[in-house]
Structure 1
């Protein structure tokens, strides 16, 4: 809705009573119903980040429902959600769980839904965590009237955090086909609300816009295509993220050695680390997780993810074809865990299992791999032939044979993306650029029409679908999470249950390789990675 569709209503008596001040109202009748408005507002109550990017989430502490006609309780729920125990968290009255109310003069309004939510900002070391009552009220006689009220659990304007309007109560009213916003000011604030340039007044304008837009969206059947928090509980992930962000972000941003944007990469990898830690606790158990597994970050790039995980007590290695400048900023024990190696999966170098049965002494399959070199020192391009025996023995080659307790990470690992589910270890892969098993660029189509309609049929969706297909084909029971990271390429495919792990590499893997043409170009392409400039994702 544009500003031309709103009327600045300060000075107009509020229908809610003398304690209230009108701020803005729609000029034309709205074309959505009370049910659309309430569904939209209930979503905003549960997800206040819709109104402010400073807000991380809301924890619903009290959730009550009432019969509007009788006032009898229909549902009464309380949740005891403990705050993260980080020193320095700012809080205001977070133990106050008693729902609050304000006077309402509009006749026949009764409470339908009553919540107490705890609002957690993205940086609770700067902006305080608060509790807030949220009420949804209906008229007993007018089936088109609905009122939503927000009341913070404090009575002093100085306690109000930046991310909510600095007033004692906010109301969004749908009445007689008009949508309007009203405030109850704190003591001495009345004149402040008369100035449309004040931030608190501008916020009222945005609140009305959001309510209108989302109500229209509900009426028109808008549905989110992306669902978050399927694999890991949002609260666990976000609390872990807050902890890691406080602990590592300043050092990483201040000492960034790459030419890429430090904030994007640092905060993205902090979020991935938070997700992985909670995932590993889910898989391996909350107690002593760091001693039950180790990780391999294949295509580790700048090493931020490895650095955080190692500093958090996990054992593991990061492997990349090219050393990065950022590796130099990490402590010595982290540097030792970052390896400059190319990855050539052993399934390309070892004898086929059937051959191994007849000749158990064989360690390699006798294959040769041509790699063309172009260099100013050469008169003409030259071809070097590597044998499988050479590659198995080279310290610059990692053949992806790891201890049984290994978990593989593929974080935007490009050429390695489709290989990771085939290596025979639990994994999480976040696809990025689309390559086949030879390392060549390719566009995969989403497998069937229904999936394409649901997910879209972009190059990225095709790659995500291909990784899921390969993983499922070799026995993985997969899960998918759309990660809360600052990237549009945020699908994580996870596999940690596979009945055939002791049989890897299975016949199905050899069949996939044959279907892909044998992956003969992999060695040449991966050797070329050692010479090329790293990509910045």
Structure 2
């Protein structure tokens, strides 16, 4: 196999203006399918199944209306009767999946057979057919193309010198009367073909409107297949991994419940900031925390469980995360340097847990504000961000999570030239899920996150990280759930050393509370 180019070949879709000239798929019952769009493949046929399998398992990348797909079953024999019998091809593998909508109140779920087909001559899949399973009294949801079947097809062709050759694939034969010649260059095409619904006029597809919804959907699907093929060829690895500590499926399922339960907050928003961003971001963080606590502490992690008590520190926040968690039955407190407009509109149960106070982590006087065993939350905590693992260590917290935004060190803005990472073991940085490929610490923000992670390890915490599924570019979270075995005393000693250094410099100044502190 030739070495792949350094960049993915350009996606060059072409409409199949004269579909019957493109050797379409045929069913054994005589039905002919309609070629819609094609493009150059850019990868060999033996990677077709690997590439298209990604599309089967991740339909959400092609439609914002789809949440995910759940695999219900998979078989390599005893195939369902409802999948098409294609002339010249044999089914080799069938995945029964269920498409889940992002908004189940508006769109219905849909089950689908995703079947790979091989030609008898090569035993390597070259066709993938998606077959929606429509109930007798049902219809296709909006997010699915209005077709009975949709096929991705890998077609090999030969370009000869000085003579015409016909397009052929693993299951078709050359057109009669076509000259053949020695092959100069192998080529391959990806094609999207459809089997129209019985109620749909064939002319709607055989004369494709490039502005139609079906064609635009086909463009996106084919481009995804083209991209996945290139990724398989170059052995692409994701730069950032989600769902490292909390599985995707439970998170998405609970998020839909939480979104429906708290979306009224968008209409009741009292701040000048964007309600869609802030409300859904904090719903996402709350959802994540609820599951993280469940997996860490067990199912009983409500108000009566001291381990799940939360300290929410948001100097640039609005108390919303505290409100959502309190509404869900968790005990906790939120601190800010001034009362926000939203606070007076929250119910009493939330208001009594929101406090105007400028935390001073260098002062023992504030220790009483943080109960032993509380789980600390630093949600875009600005200058308190590096203090979260330190406070968690001093107060023997059950854990902490920090979602850093602005880069602060202990008593000044973070500067990579001044604040070098604390000593870490080999491979530590590569495991932080920072993204950026080889240039993992190329930006100031990446280096800041490396420093924060090394600080947490220095404090004796076993460092875990997560790329949260929230609508924010600052979605990287560092999590501490357990202490490093045998390093607890050393970590505590390191914390006291940091505190001594900061106090000696005398540069840390807690923000001055604004307004009538203590009334909230």
TM-score bucket (shorter structure): 0.7 to 0.9
Comparing 200-209 with 45-54, greater Cα deviation is found at: 200-209
Match of 1:171 in 2: 151
Q: CA deviation at 1:145?
A: 5.5
Residue in 2 aligned with 1:93?
A: none
- What is the correspondence of 1:135-174 to structure 2 with a 5 Å cutoff? 135-142=115-122, 146-154=126-134, 159-174=139-154
Could you tell me how far 1:236 is from its partner in structure 2?
A: 1.1
For residues 193 and 345 of structure 2, the distance between their equivalents in structure 1, rounded to whole angstroms, comes to 53
Please state if 1:477 is matched with 2:445.
no
Equivalent pair of 1:151/1:169 in contact (CA under 8 Å): yes
In structure 1, runs of 5+ residues without a counterpart are 74-97, 351-391, 393-397, 532-537
Residue 402 (structure 1) aligns with: 370
Unpaired stretches in structure 2, ≥5 consecutive residues: 1-8, 157-187, 431-437, 516-520
Cα distance in structure 2, aligned partners of 1:528 and 1:315: 26
Per the normalisation by structure 1, the TM-score is 0.76
Match of 2:298 in 1: 285
Task: Give the whole-Å Cα distance in 1 for the aligned partners of 2:152 and 2:341.
Answer: 52
The answer to whether 1:103 aligns with 2:84 is: yes
Task: Tell whether the 8 Å contact from 1:344 to 1:399 is kept in structure 2 after alignment.
Answer: no
1:60-139 equivalent positions in 2, closer than 5 A: 60-64=71-75, 66=76, 99=80, 101-107=82-88, 109-139=89-119
1:382 match: none
Residues 99 and 116 of structure 1 are in contact (CA less than 8 Å); yes or no, is this contact kept in structure 2? no
Tell me how far apart the structure 1 counterparts of residues 67 and 400 of structure 2 sit (CA, whole Å). 28
Determine if the alignment matches structure 1 residue 262 to structure 2 residue 275: yes
Q: Distance in 2 between matches of 1:55 and 1:240?
A: 16
The TM-score, its normalising length taken from structure 2, stands at 0.79
Deviation at 1:519, TM superposition (A): 5.9
For 1:216, the equivalent position in structure 2 comes to 230
RMSD: 2.9
Partner of 2:254: 240
Partner of 1:418: 386
Deviations 1:106-154 (A, max 9, x none): 41x2333321112112111111122111112222314676111111111
Number of the residue aligned with 2:48 = 37
Q: Give the superposition deviation at 1:292.
A: 0.9
1:339/1:401 CA distance change after superposition, 3 Å: closer
CA contact 2:37–2:193 (8 Å) conserved in 1: no
TM superposition shift of 1:420 = 0.3
- SS of the aligned residue for 1:183 comes to strand
Question: How far off is 1:230 after superposition?
Answer: 1.0
Partner of 1:365: none
Aligned to 1:21: 33
1:446 CA drift (Å):
6.5
Give the superposition deviation at 1:342. 0.2
Q: CA deviation at 1:20?
A: 4.7
- Give the Cα separation in 2 of the matches to 1:515 and 1:16: 77
Residue 521 of structure 1, CA deviation? 2.1
For residues 152-179 of structure 1, the C-alpha deviation after alignment (integer angstroms, 9 at most, x for no partner) is 1115696211222122211100022221
Contact 1:476 1:496 in 2 (8 A): yes
Asked if structure 1 preserves the Cα contact closer than 8 Å seen for 2:35 and 2:194, the reply is yes
Partner SS for 1:310: helix
Matched, 1:510 2:496: yes
The question of 1:521 aligning with 2:501 is answered no
Judge conservation of contact 1:484–1:490 (CA < 8 Å) in 2.
yes
Residue 311 of structure 1 deviates from its aligned partner by 0.7
Q: Equivalents in 2 of 1:156, 1:117: separation in Å?
A: 19
Render the CA deviation track for 1:223-260: whole Å, top value 9, x for unaligned: 211111110111111111000000111x2111112221
Q: Is the 8 A contact 1:252 1:266 kept in 2?
A: yes
Equivalent position of 2:3 in the other structure: none
Partner of 1:434: 407
In the superposition, relative to structure 1, how do residues 529 and 137 fare at CA in structure 2: closer, same or farther (>3 Å)?
Answer: farther
- The CA deviation at 1:478 is 2.1
Distance 1:167 1:482, change over 3 A: same
Residue 326 of structure 1 corresponds to 342
- Asked if structure 1 preserves the Cα contact closer than 8 Å seen for 2:337 and 2:358, the reply is yes
Q: Secondary structure at the match of 1:306?
A: helix
**Residue in 2 that maps onto 1:389:** none
Contact 2:302-2:329 within 8 A present in 1 as well: no
Give the alignment of 1:289-304 within 5 angstroms: 289-293=302-306, 294-299=309-314, 301-304=317-320
* Rounded Cα–Cα distance in structure 1 between residues aligned with 2:374 and 2:490: 14
* 1:46 is the counterpart of 2:27: no
- Cα distance in 2 for partners of 1:213, 1:141 equals 27
* Matches of 1:288 and 1:54, distance apart in 2: 32
State the alpha-carbon separation in 2 of the partners of residues 302 and 100 from structure 1. Answer: 56
Choose which of 338, 342, 348 in structure 1 pairs with 2:354.
Answer: 338
Q: How far apart are residue 286 of structure 1 and its match?
A: 0.7
Across the two proteins, how many residue pairs are aligned to each other? 448
Q: 1:181 to 1:9 in 2, by over 3 A?
A: farther
